[in-house]
A = this chain, B = another copy of it.
Amino acid sequence: MWRDETGRSLADYPHPSVAVDVALLTVVDGTLHVALHRREGHATGELALPGTFVRIDERLADAALRALRDHLEVTGRSPEQLRVFDDPHRDDRGRVLAIAHVDLVDRGVLPTGTETAAVDTCPTLAFDHGAMVAAAAEHVRARHRGSPDPAGLLGAEFTLAELQGLHEAVAGGPLPKDTFRRHVLGDLEPTGGLRTGVVGKPARLFRRAGEPGQPPV
């Protein structure tokens, strides 16, 4: 264990606690929602993002996964770091830095009954979690403007209509059909399959370019 010239280790100096919070976004009824839970312990009953304190030997990503597991019973995702929230009074238990994370998942990975709220009409949340939700929504919206289904919600194969539905839900409004198709087509390749069975012309299936599927001959 390292000691400084006065014999103290790093932990002997007073320093902020560190928490992670995760804005787990999902699409419900065609609009972007965030998964919430009701706090127990401190601030009992308030709606909040799943979060936890970072243990001394834990990576941020692992702490974020632990928060999702403990508060929402969700596993196996990979939240992305957003930024640090550092208002000295954001938590009245003491000085706590919070590192906000985001991820976007299919509704199916949330246990039935999980509480969610639309990101654009979010109720008051504990701490500064409202600001985190806003930052998270802005983040995923920016990513979805740049590439088709960056979070891989749709699985390996999907139709252009399914993809457009997802992007409209994320963006929070309708997108023009023809422009949207031509915009994303460059990043997709047809699998050759068709989605059939419903009324209307069968839709071609696509996958993101450069993914498994048939490897090139």
Contact = CB atoms under 8 A, between A and B. Distances in A.
Nearest to A97: B18
Given A86-B59, A86-B60, A92 B2 contact: yes
A180 B95 CA distance: 47
Nearest to A92: B2
Contacts of A81: 83-84
A10 to B, nearest CB: 4
A58 B14 CA distance: 11
A213 B122 CA distance: 41
Contacts of A55: 14-15
A57 interface: yes
A127 interface: no
Contacts of A58: 88
A158 to B, nearest CB: 30
Interface in A1-27: 1-2, 4, 9-11, 13-18
A97 B56 CA distance: 10
A108 interface: no
A48 interface: no
Contacts of A56: 14-16, 95
A54 interface: yes
Interface of A: 1-2, 4, 9-11, 13-18, 41-42, 53-60, 81, 83-84, 86-88, 92-97, 99
6 contacts: A2-B93, A4-B41, A14-B56, A59-B88, A60-B84, A84-B99
